[in-house]
Chains A and B, each alone.
Chain A
Amino acid sequence: MRAETSSRAPLPPGVFLRAEGLVKKFGDFVAVNGVTFDVPRGKVFGFLGPNGSGKSTTIRMLAGLLNPTSGTARGFDGLDVTDTERWKSRLGYMSQKFSLYLDLTVEENLRFFGRVYGLAGPRLDERIRELSGTLRFERLKDTLTESLSTGMRQRVALAAALLHEPLLLFLDEPTGGVDPKGRRLFWELIYDLAAEKGMTVLVTTHYMDEAEQCDELAFILNGDLIAHGEPHALKRGISGRLLEVDLESAPFEALAAVRGAAPLEDAYLFGLRLRVLAREGRVDDALSLVSRLGTPAVAEPSLEDVFVDLARGYAERKAAAQPPTRMVTT
């Protein structure tokens, strides 16, 4: 049966991909516990969570590389993930393990992957030329992949995933092991792909600073989707209650001085800055408490702050055996 004949209503035009109740079990272990979310068309969608939270398993199911235990995914204007070959031919996938052949040159790798995607002749030549220019590795085409830096290998792997001009790009921890400079460059490229080519990008990362670049985000923890929305909407839950004090020195002593104080829901360090989250309605008390340590200011929440807050709420709900999902609507 062809997926398009499904009786379900088509996805709204702004939605490019929809995950519907995806579950993946490995024996007794529930790696992904029924996640549902929409990936908007032409946007960069971030899928976040710590190692082992179910990120990669989810992205592999969405990429048609792993069969879900239950649930499904729809996208590409009328396809279903069970229509695996057509689904896969329209997407690009790059994983944290890059999967290039180290004993081949850059160009040999790209030719190999091009043929896998059914490209050949002048078309393949042209794509390799274009991508090595855009991704800035032109002068390294004849270099053995083995001798490239991690950041450079990552760009070559990205090129391999883009050869067949996919409509949707999956990036699974693309910046793992790459230094800050390489990470920044990579994100600029990703942004340009979405903005200029209209490509939809789904990217997993555990670097919360990278997540700030995404148009929309979903947080996953222990296989449960714990929040989903635009970055500014996700931040709303703690904005106004997060205070920050710049410390000159002795950060751990400053932390010890306020940790556990009644007006504070949380206190932690970010380098030489102390951040405290005031309980609802206790901002003034929190301010006077931390003003002993320096001049406090209301801080703009980072996504790391948001994640920690969401994870705490999740743990509390789990303890109270409440349903684990909280959706943030924008």
Chain B
Amino acid sequence: MIEARGLEKRFGAHAALRGVDLRIAEGELFALIGPDGAGKTTFFRLVAGLLTPTAGTLRRAEGATFGLVPQRFSLYEDLTVDENLDLRARLYSVPSAEARARAAELLRRVGMAPFGARLAGALSGGMKQKLALVAALLTKPRLLLLDEPTTGVDPVSRREFWLVLNELHHEGLTIVVSTPYMDEAEYATRLGFLDEGKLLAVGTRDEVLAAFPRPILEVLSPDRNGVRRRLAGIDAVDDVSLFGTRLHLRGAAGTGTEILDSVRAGLTGLVPADGVRLVPPTLEDVFVLAGDEVET
């Protein structure tokens, strides 16, 4: 559906994308993850044809019509939901009877049927994003591009939004979505980590996790600061992060499972041995490591 080869985009001296090779097949639900400024929005704009590459190529499959949900709400806040959709249909020359029927059906699906007469500006954050989704789907695209559609949206609306995305995916729509939430990335068929304009890892969740080269330990302790101070003296640990009520420790490059013993020994008297255990890495661990390796 989408094929990028050596894709580069520069804005003056700033390289937003620095040689991205990526194929996204028809029917995929592909998640693009990466820090702010990684190049995600630039990638979406290139796919949507709003920008042209500085070097390399980006091809969309023939006849691959698309809808884009941009990161910023781009509908008219002083128009109602129905007026926004009507305007959108006219811009894209969707016959009005068809557009009206489709808008009604889509609004029903996202649970917004009762809100047609409400001003877009008076919608909650979650509903604004649902409206943007409906607008993007009005033209019956084969490819749906979503640039951080759930950022800042409340948890319940996020869940509802993903239920709809999953349905659309099952109906055959190809979806490319970026997100800062790692739990959402797990719903994708494949995901890609973008950082500083480079794609650092691509694959299924299991592939990406299996390639993670470091041991991760979890420590349960109410005295998080005490644990952090003790761990500062253990060279085999190169990252300590708070994960809710737990601490996640990452073993330095080249360390294996023997790190468990050194951490247990280092925390003697503070944390019982069974409060320290090896755990499988999460996508967030992958993400943080990718960021560290680029930085150094």
Partner of A50, one of B35, B38, B154: B154
CB distance from A40 to the nearest CB of B (A): 17
Residues of A within 8 A of B157 (CB): 50
Residues of B within 8 A of A206 (CB): 152, 154
Query: Do A178 and B152 touch across chains, with their CB atoms under 8 A apart?
Result: no
B238 within 8 A of A: no
Residues of B within 8 A of A150 (CB): 35-37
Query: Do A184 and B187 touch across chains, with their CB atoms under 8 A apart?
Result: no
A304 within 8 A of B: yes
Among B62-88, those with CB < 8 Å from A are: none
C-alpha gap A184/B37 in the complex (Å): 18
C-alpha gap A151/B36 in the complex (Å): 8
Residues of B within 8 A of A117 (CB): none
C-alpha gap A77/B182 in the complex (Å): 42
A181 within 8 A of B: yes
C-alpha gap A209/B243 in the complex (Å): 7
A101 within 8 A of B: no
Query: Do A179 and B242 touch across chains, with their CB atoms under 8 A apart?
Result: no
Query: Do A176 and B152 touch across chains, with their CB atoms under 8 A apart?
Result: yes
Residues of B within 8 A of A184 (CB): 241-242, 288
Query: Do B35 and A179 touch across chains, with their CB atoms under 8 A apart?
Result: yes
Residues of A within 8 A of B152 (CB): 50-51, 176, 206
Most buried by A among B38, B126, B241: B241
A195 within 8 A of B: yes
Task: Render B6-34 as a binary contact track against A, CB cut-off 8 A, 1 for contact.
Answer: 00000000000000000000000000001
Query: Do B125 and A51 touch across chains, with their CB atoms under 8 A apart?
Result: yes
Query: Do B287 and A179 touch across chains, with their CB atoms under 8 A apart?
Result: yes
C-alpha gap A196/B284 in the complex (Å): 28
B166 within 8 A of A: yes
Task: Render B189-215 as a binary contact track against A, CB cut-off 8 A, 1 for contact.
Answer: 000000000000000010000000000
Residues of B within 8 A of A270 (CB): 183
C-alpha gap A195/B223 in the complex (Å): 12
CB distance from B102 to the nearest CB of A (A): 24
Query: Do A180 and B287 touch across chains, with their CB atoms under 8 A apart?
Result: yes
A120 within 8 A of B: no
Residues of A within 8 A of B245 (CB): 212, 231, 300
Given contacts A188-B242, A209-B244, A212-B244, contact A180 B125 (CB under 8 A): no
**A173 (CB) vs chain B CBs: closest residue:** B152
Query: Do B166 and A182 touch across chains, with their CB atoms under 8 A apart?
Result: no
Residues of B within 8 A of A53 (CB): 154
C-alpha gap A231/B183 in the complex (Å): 21
Query: Do A271 and B182 touch across chains, with their CB atoms under 8 A apart?
Result: yes
A191 within 8 A of B: yes
Task: Render A144-174 as a binary contact track against B, CB cut-off 8 A, 1 for contact.
Answer: 0000011100000000000000000000000
**A302 (CB) vs chain B CBs: closest residue:** B244
C-alpha gap A231/B242 in the complex (Å): 15
B interface residues (Cβ-Cβ under 8 A, vs A): 34-38, 124-126, 152-157, 159, 162-163, 166, 180, 182-187, 205, 225, 241-245, 284, 287-288, 291-292
What are 27 A-B interface contacts by the 8 Å CB criterion? A50-B125, A50-B157, A51-B124, A150-B35, A151-B35, A176-B152, A179-B34, A179-B180, A179-B287, A180-B180, A180-B288, A181-B291, A182-B35, A182-B291, A184-B288, A191-B242, A209-B243, A212-B242, A213-B242, A252-B187, A269-B159, A269-B162, A271-B184, A271-B186, A271-B187, A302-B244, A307-B155
Known: A149-B36, A191-B225, A252-B163. 18 other contacts (CB 8 A): A50-B157, A51-B125, A51-B153, A149-B35, A150-B35, A150-B36, A178-B35, A180-B182, A180-B288, A182-B291, A184-B242, A209-B244, A212-B245, A231-B245, A251-B186, A270-B183, A300-B245, A308-B156
Closest 7 A/B residue pairs (Cβ) = A179-B35, A50-B154, A271-B186, A271-B183, A51-B125, A181-B291, A212-B244
